Structure 1
């Protein structure tokens, strides 16, 4: 997919500022943004190269939120590519760093990726299936509840919204009616904050209404998601796929 111009501009800006100021942390942040840029374009090999460049700088500076965040990104990218063992390894690296650095923000990210690893059914994604588990909804919820507790402690509206969405999706997988309340609350917060996360949260609400046999209400949210996508995210392959899945589910 094409690179997103706004993200490219940000990565270049951070890198140039870092070089001009001889600030290695700014340079590492630029590398990190380049990694995110190429991840969004589904060019995972190039993304990983940029993340590794950032890692080489950050690891010399010891444990930090930024270092834990980077390992979460590496774990998430490995999970996207169905690399189970690599994803687990990076997630546990992130959690260990988060604990040593006493960063609640890093703990939130680390617990969240561990929850996503547990909620995924990995069987069938490996030729041998050796050591590849099935999904574990209880473990996923366990980690999401940890995230929820920390999000309220930080008093961060968007962290609360994210974990409400995660818990809602987990409940939705069980066809638990409480899912709708969690998902609509998450979307309401995102709308109030005018955050980009409105797109996936809108799709989650649509999925919930489809699951509970309310297609008319679901269609309203699918259309809202389509408008958001057309306005801002036409170069983001991941959201295009998510939107198409909702159309499939609806029809």
Structure 2
């Protein structure tokens, strides 16, 4: 018998810390985590902050139950930030109470009292009867409309709190709670808590028959759905253990203690699995939050890029409109200038024709052959300029002259003027070159003088008269005009060497900033080179 007592008390010492069980919660830790996680997903999906606040609150309670006060505080504060904004008095006061409990666990009694008072103020200010019923039952005992089921829960909490110091009052309160709960068919777990508390008080007083009757009623519920709940079974085994302990029946007490230990193992395993599930959920939650942050950062970057692109597009569109406006204005200006230039060239052409007509009238009145020849030469020179202005006026581009077309017209007019077009062989190699009008006039005058010179001093002395013209431009924009006839050369043209025609050619070459070269005296061959 002595050996049996030693084993019993050793077992009692080892497991006395496991003998206090939740009085109202029927769910295992794993089930509570799954429920809280389901609320978290629902709140995230619906974007409902009140659901998220409830999920955070439940996670805080779970962490507190597992002894993780810091994690618990983090969840409670996340929930509190939401309920304060949404003005939810019951949830807000409940959170202050829970945070105060954490402060009490850490030895911060003043902070605990302050937060408890804060919770009370929130309940009263928000007229939260539910909060007062749950946390301050003494303030609502006289409310006529208090929910009886909630009142029974409050009574059980109050009875348990005063049982060690005032078992008589505790027994009366347990009876009240039992009487209330018998009217509710689905509150067997809460009723069992009240009956277990009453049975322990009766057994401690030696009223074993009534205590045993209550415990038998508890045991009968093992065959119901409650029997599958390890917490309920632990309450039943704990109640029998204490019953036999008070009867000094240590054999049966040890038997129920061993059963209690087995239930503790099941509860511990469930809590361990729940903790693992919780850690997994936290890992997945943090992983999802990290992914969400990365996605948000990517979205922000995309928004910045899109904003920059839109700004760039707006700037580009503005530049396009500006460019179009400037281009349109320039086109109008160019068109106006072309009209003005053509009008000017037309007037110059008319004036040149008028001057040519006046010279022609004067020539008919002059009887001196030398004077007539001088007037004819002047008329030829004027006609060269008239041809140029006629081409400028008739052409599409009033700012440049097509040299090939211009020089061909000058050559044709000069030979027609002497009546030698059909008698002279023209050899042309003229490239398509465009030149500004001032330089084109200079070339026209030079060609006119050269043809006039050949018609006077070369063609009359040649059986098969030829005139060669070559106009080229190299990659450096150097334009070269070559002219040759098959006459006797300058040796027979001494009068021309120092005449007005040669002086005019030299003057026009200087105007072109070009170089004049006569290569041979057997046949007349002249080149003029200048930069375009």
Task: Tell me if TM exceeds 0.5.
Answer: yes
Distance, in Å, in 1 between the alignment partners of 2:103 and 2:51 is: 25
Q: Displacement of 1:68 after TM fit? A: 0.9
Distance, in Å, in 2 between the alignment partners of 1:83 and 1:221 is: 41
- Unmatched segments (≥5 aa) in structure 1: 113-143
- Unmatched segments (≥5 aa) in structure 2: 1-17, 19-26, 249-532
Identify the residue that residue 65 of structure 1 maps to in structure 2: 90
Identify the residue that residue 213 of structure 1 maps to in structure 2: 206
Distance, in Å, in 2 between the alignment partners of 1:167 and 1:200 is: 13
Distance, in Å, in 2 between the alignment partners of 1:222 and 1:42 is: 32
Q: In structure 2, do the counterparts of structure 1 residues 106 and 175 end up closer, same or farther at CA, with 3 Å as the change threshold? A: closer
Identify the residue that residue 176 of structure 2 maps to in structure 1: 185
Q: Is the 1:28–1:58 contact (alpha carbons within 8 Å) kept by the matching residues of 2?
A: yes
Q: CA RMSD in A?
A: 3.8
Q: Displacement of 1:189 after TM fit? A: 3.2
Structure 2 length as normaliser, TM-score? 0.35
Identify the residue that residue 163 of structure 1 maps to in structure 2: 154
Q: Displacement of 1:207 after TM fit? A: 2.7
Which structure is richer in relative contact order (CA contacts within 8 A, separation 6 or more)? Answer: 1
Q: In structure 2, do the counterparts of structure 1 residues 147 and 87 end up closer, same or farther at CA, with 3 Å as the change threshold? A: farther
Q: Displacement of 1:95 after TM fit? A: 0.5
Within the candidate set 79, 83, 87, 1:54 is matched to 79
The 3-state SS of whatever aligns with 1:173 is: coil
Give the count of matched residue pairs: 215
Q: In structure 2, do the counterparts of structure 1 residues 53 and 244 end up closer, same or farther at CA, with 3 Å as the change threshold? A: farther
The 3-state SS of whatever aligns with 2:43 is: helix
Distance, in Å, in 1 between the alignment partners of 2:123 and 2:136 is: 10
Distance, in Å, in 2 between the alignment partners of 1:248 and 1:172 is: 19
CA deviation map 1:33-74 (0-9, x unaligned): 212233344444433322122112222233521111222233
Q: In structure 2, do the counterparts of structure 1 residues 90 and 229 end up closer, same or farther at CA, with 3 Å as the change threshold? A: farther
Distance, in Å, in 1 between the alignment partners of 2:58 and 2:233 is: 15
Q: Tell me if 1:30 matches 2:55.
A: yes
Q: Tell me if 1:173 matches 2:165.
A: yes
Q: In structure 2, do the counterparts of structure 1 residues 69 and 82 end up closer, same or farther at CA, with 3 Å as the change threshold? A: same
Distance, in Å, in 2 between the alignment partners of 1:79 and 1:245 is: 31
Distance, in Å, in 2 between the alignment partners of 1:48 and 1:248 is: 41
Q: In structure 2, do the counterparts of structure 1 residues 207 and 148 end up closer, same or farther at CA, with 3 Å as the change threshold? A: farther
Identify the residue that residue 229 of structure 2 maps to in structure 1: 232
Q: In structure 2, do the counterparts of structure 1 residues 166 and 3 end up closer, same or farther at CA, with 3 Å as the change threshold? A: closer
Distance, in Å, in 1 between the alignment partners of 2:106 and 2:177 is: 27
The 3-state SS of whatever aligns with 2:141 is: helix
Distance, in Å, in 2 between the alignment partners of 1:229 and 1:91 is: 35
Q: Displacement of 1:233 after TM fit? A: 4.4
CA deviation map 1:192-234 (0-9, x unaligned): 4333433432332123213432134334545738959863244
Q: Is the 2:226–2:232 contact (alpha carbons within 8 Å) kept by the matching residues of 1?
A: no
Larger radius of gyration: 2
Q: Tell me if 1:148 matches 2:141.
A: yes
Q: In structure 2, do the counterparts of structure 1 residues 55 and 249 end up closer, same or farther at CA, with 3 Å as the change threshold? A: farther
Q: Is the 1:31–1:53 contact (alpha carbons within 8 Å) kept by the matching residues of 2?
A: yes
- Name the structure where helix makes up a greater proportion of residues: 1
CA deviation map 1:78-112 (0-9, x unaligned): 55666533332221111011111111112223424
The 3-state SS of whatever aligns with 2:140 is: helix
Structure 1 length as normaliser, TM-score? 0.67
Identify the residue that residue 190 of structure 2 maps to in structure 1: 197
Q: Is the 1:32–1:70 contact (alpha carbons within 8 Å) kept by the matching residues of 2?
A: yes
Q: Is the 1:147–1:163 contact (alpha carbons within 8 Å) kept by the matching residues of 2?
A: no
Q: In structure 2, do the counterparts of structure 1 residues 3 and 182 end up closer, same or farther at CA, with 3 Å as the change threshold? A: closer
Comparing 193-202 and 96-105, the one that deviates more: 193-202
